[in-house]
Chains A and B, each alone.
Chain A
Amino acid sequence: MSTPPTLTINVEFGGGLELLFANQRKYQLSIPVLIPPDTTATPPSGSAPPPILSKPADITFLIRYLKENHLKERPELFVEGETVRPGILVLVNDTDWELEGEGDYALKEGDEIVFISTLHGG
C-alpha cells in the first residue's frame, strides 16, 4: 500500500498562542490531502461500516490535527468543539478566514495559515 498523498502547508502562531505549541511560532506540516476516516467514531452495531468519505483536508481538520499532534498544553485555550476558541483570528494567506469559508476552506499546497490570539492589554 502506498502512502497517502500529502500537501505541505505553513502554519504560524501569534499573539501568545505559540506558548501553547512549545513556544514554536512556525511549523511546516505535511498533512493528508484527504481527511483520513475518523477512527474514533464507532459505527452503529449490526450495520455495515460507513463508506469512507474522501473529503479534502480543510481548516476544521487542520485544527483537529494541530490539537492532536502539536498542542502541548491547555487545549481549552486553542479549541472549542470543532473550531478555535473565541478571540482567535484565523488567517488564510493573510486574509481573515471568514472571507474564505472559515472551517470549510480546503487547504492547498503552500498555503499559509496563521492563528492569532487577540490581545487586550494596553
Chain B
Amino acid sequence: MDKGDKLPLEDYKRYGRQMILEGFGLSGQLKLQKASVVVVGAGGLGCPALQYLAAAGVGRLGIIDHDVVETSNLQRQILHNEQTVGMHKTESAAQAVRKINSRIKVDVITEPLSSLNATRVLQDYDIILDCTDNTPTRYLLSDTAVALGKPLVSGAAQRFHGQLCVYNLGPDGLCLRCLFPRPPTQTGTCEETGILGAVTGVIGNLQALEAIKIITGLHEKEPSMLIFSALGSPPFRSIKLGSKKPTCPACGKEGKKIGEIHEFDYVQFCGGPAPDWETQGLTDSEPGFRISVKELHNRLEGGDRLNVIDVRPRTEFGICQLPGSINVPLGELTANPSTYLPEDDKIETFIVCRLGNDSQIAAETLRSLDKDSPGTNKRTIKDVIGGLRAWSKDVDENFPVY
C-alpha cells in the first residue's frame, strides 16, 4: 500500500465498522475499493451476494443475466421488487445496488453467457461469482476461471439445501472438473424443484463473504466445501477437499485436454439441452392416448363415474386439486399399479399432473398392465394434455398456477 493511500473522508464513517476489524483495517477497505467482482446470475444467489458486495464497498461490480424479472422470482430474488417485474434482472439489480451504494461502478451485461463470449466478458474482473442455475454454465465458468487464473466462488441451492465452494483459488486450488470430471446425469421429471428464499440468501451471503475474504487477504485458502441443510442438525458441514488433480482435463499439470473453450459444447457435455417440460407436456404424440382439458371438463360435467388420478407429490396436491380427483404420487403408482386400475373395466381412468409429462408415464404403466391382464375388456386409460397448467389456461382461470 502506498503511504499516501487514503479514502474519501466520508468513507471512514461509512465503512468504519468493518475497517476497525482486526486484519481488515484501512488497507482492507482500499483493497475492496480497487477490486472488481462479476456476479453471473442475478437471481436467488446473485441478489444477496450483490447486496453485500455493494454495501461493503467493492469498487466495481459486473452483473450478468439475460432474464427478466417475474413474479415468481420475488419470493427469493430480493433485489427485485413489484415495480421491476418485467424489467431485465440486470437493470433491476443495478438499480437496487446503486441505491445501496451510489459510488461504486456497476456494469450491466444483459447477454447470455456462452463459450464464445465468456473469456471476453469475465477477463476484466478479479473474482467471478457463480450464481447460475444450470450445469453447462457452471462448467463453462470453471474452465474460464482456470484459463483466466481467477478465483471462482461457486454457490448452489435447491429445496432446503445449499452448497458453497471456492474453485481455482491459488496455485493448488482445485476446479469443478477436479471434483466432478463427469457432469451429473439429467433427471427427467416435470415436477418443479422447490427452493426457500432464506436458503438462497444464506448461500448468496456466504459467496459475498468468500469474495471479501479473498480480496482483503483474510482467506485461509484451504480447499473445502460448505454444505448447508436448513433442516439438518447441525445445519452446516464443512468438507475437506483435495487440491488440484494432476489428471484434471482443465487445470491438471498434465496439461489441458478440453481444447479451446470457445469450441467446447457445454450443453452437449452436460447431456443436451434441458427439455422444456411445459411444451413437452402439451405434445399429443400418440393420438387416442390423451385427452384435452376441455374434453375432461365436459366428461366431469357429464356425471359419469370416472377414475381421476392426480400423480403429483402429496404436497402439491394439497395446494390445489381437481374436484373428485384422488392423489397417487407417480412413484407409488408405478411401484404398485394394479391397485389403481378400477375393478369395473367400464370405468374410465384419467390421469393428470402439473404439466402433462408424469401423467403420460403413469397412463402408459396402467395401460401396459391392462393389456397383459387376460380376458377382460380393455379399459380406457388416458392422461390429460398439458396437465393442470392447461386446466388453468383453458378451463378455469381461477385455478391456481404455481
Query: Given contacts A14-B229, A121-B157, A122-B155, are A86 and B133 in contact (CB under 8 A)?
Result: no
Tell whether, in the assembled complex, residue A16 and residue B43 are in contact, meaning their CB atoms are under 8 Å apart.
no
Complex Cα gap A32–B134 (Å): 40
Is the CB–CB distance between A94 and B237 below 8 Å? yes
A89-B239 CB under 8 A given contacts A116-B227, A121-B157: yes
A86 to B185, alpha carbons, bound, how many Å?
7
User: CB distance B161 to A16 under 8 Å?
Assistant: yes
> At the interface, yes or no: A95 with Cβ under 8 Å from chain B?
yes
Cβ-neighbour of A121 out of B158, B229, B232 (below 8 A): B158
CB pair A122–B132 under 8 Å, yes or no, is yes
| A119 in contact with B240 (CB, 8 Å) | no
Contact A14 B232 (CB under 8 A): yes
Q: Are A77 and B239 in contact (CB under 8 A)?
A: no
Q: Which of A14, A85, A91, A121 contacts B133 (CB 8 A)?
A: A121
- The size class of the interface chain A forms with chain B is 20 to 34
With A14-B229, A15-B158, A120-B184 already in contact, the answer to whether A96 and B239 are too (CB < 8 A) is yes
Q: Is B197 an interface residue (CB 8 A)?
A: no
Hey, which chain A residues are within 8 Å of B183, CB to CB? 86-87
Q: In the bound complex, what is the Cα–Cα distance between A91 and B285 (angstroms)?
A: 44
CB contact between A119 and one of B41, B46, B156 (< 8 Å): that residue: B156
B44 cross-chain contacts in A, Cβ below 8 A:
121-122
Report yes or no: B182 in contact with A86, Cβ–Cβ below 8 A.
yes
Q: Is A111 among interface residues, defined by CB-CB distance under 8 A?
A: no
Q: Is A73 an interface residue (CB 8 A)?
A: yes
> Does B135 contact A120, Cβ atoms closer than 8 Å?
yes
- Docked-complex contact B331 and A16, CB < 8 angstroms: no
- Cβ of A67 within 8 Å of any chain B Cβ, yes or no, is no
Contact A95 B240 (CB under 8 A): yes
Q: Mark A5-48, 1 if CB is under 8 A from B, else 0.
A: 00000000011100000000100000000000000000000000
A122 pairs with B229, CB closer than 8 A: no
Cα distance, A96 to B195, chains bound together (Å): 26
Interface presence of B131 (CB below 8 A): yes
Complex interface: chain B residues within 8 A of A109 (CB): none
Contact of B157 among A89, A96, A119 (CB under 8 A): A119
A-B contact pairs, 29 of them (CB 8 A): A14-B161, A14-B229, A14-B232, A15-B161, A15-B227, A73-B331, A74-B331, A76-B185, A77-B185, A85-B184, A86-B182, A86-B184, A87-B183, A87-B185, A89-B225, A94-B238, A96-B179, A96-B239, A96-B242, A98-B242, A118-B156, A119-B158, A119-B163, A120-B134, A121-B133, A121-B193, A122-B41, A122-B44, A122-B132
For the complex of A and B, 9 pairs with smallest distance between CB atoms: A87-B184, A86-B182, A119-B156, A122-B133, A121-B158, A119-B158, A122-B45, A95-B240, A120-B135
